[in-house]
Amino acid sequence: MKGVILAGGTGSRLHPLTRITNKHLLPLYDRPMVTYAVEALVGAGIDEVMLVTGGTHAGEFFRLLGNGHEHGLDRLLYAYQDQAGGIAEAFGLAERFVARDKVCVLLADNVFERSLRPVVENFSRQSSGARIVLSQVGEDEHLRHLGVARMDGDSVVEIVEKPASPPSRYAVTGAYFYDAQVWDVLPTLEPSGRGELEITDVNNWYVSRGMMEADVADGFWGDAGESIDAYYAVNDFVRSNGVNR
């Protein structure tokens, strides 16, 4: 299985911190944010990774991570996104690298308390389709800013983006798993109202065909890029508890 870390975007929700650097290079406790994403994939057994980024600070990722060997990777490649066009567009840049293997896509600002290894193992046993990681979120106001899964028992029947009335307490985190069909889906996407190719549309393609499985994250999950408050909340959790355990 290959890994793709998405570390692009403008980071506008973290201004003014991101006026001087890419948000994924900001520190979480004692090291840059992106290193936690690398650690998450390595800890889950994935050692071939492509990092996708963009903007004026893209070269800093190479200075930080190099060839990836010091971080436990056998192979680390890089792709450059010319301009922010959405998660799905950024992921599309990794097509040749993934080469139709199974793939884990991880947003570099998403931090998990527990290892993703059980999810990777579940997806390895899955014959086809996709898999997402859900996290229980208690506050409706928080869920209104996220993708939320509509559930029928343990099955995901729809993913609703930023719902005014959340259909469940299960937020869709930034860890996605796909089979080779994803490369046939991406070219069919149309830009959303904000002019981006949305990963929710990819996920709902699998959902509509009954090919989406889900795991619920055990323990803390945080999106450090969601807001300034979220960034510091994730920082405080990492400092006090550690992650990827």
State the chain's mean pLDDT as an integer: 97
- 211-228 as b/e: b if 16+ CB within 10 A: bbbbbebeebbbbbbbee
**For residues 238 and 113, is the Cβ–Cβ distance under 8 A?**
no
Instruction: Confirm whether 156 is domain-assigned.
Output: no
Instruction: Confirm whether 58 is domain-assigned.
Output: yes
**For residues 225 and 231, is the Cβ–Cβ distance under 8 A?**
yes
Q: State the residue for tokens 């567009």.
A: 89
pLDDT tens digits for 127-138?
999 999 999 999
Instruction: Confirm whether 211 is domain-assigned.
Output: no
pLDDT tens digits for 183-233?
999 999 999 988 899 999 999 999 999 999 999 999 999 999 999 999 999
Instruction: Confirm whether 232 is domain-assigned.
Output: yes
Q: Report the number of distinct structural domains present in the chain.
A: 1
Instruction: Confirm whether 161 is domain-assigned.
Output: no
Residue 194: predicted pLDDT: 86
CATH number at 98 reads: 3.90.550.10
Supply the range of the domain harboring residue 42. 2-127+173-195+221-241
pTM for this prediction: 0.97
Rounded-to-5 percentages of helix, strand, coil across the chain: 35, 30, 40
Could you tell me what percent of the chain has a pLDDT over 90? 96
Which residues make Cβ contacts (< 8 Å) with residue 188, sequence separation at least 6?
A: none
Instruction: Confirm whether 208 is domain-assigned.
Output: no
Instruction: Confirm whether 110 is domain-assigned.
Output: yes
Instruction: Confirm whether 212 is domain-assigned.
Output: no
**For residues 155 and 129, is the Cβ–Cβ distance under 8 A?**
no
Confidence of residue 107 (pLDDT cuts 50, 70, 90): very high
Residue 83: predicted pLDDT: 84
Confidence of residue 160 (pLDDT cuts 50, 70, 90): very high
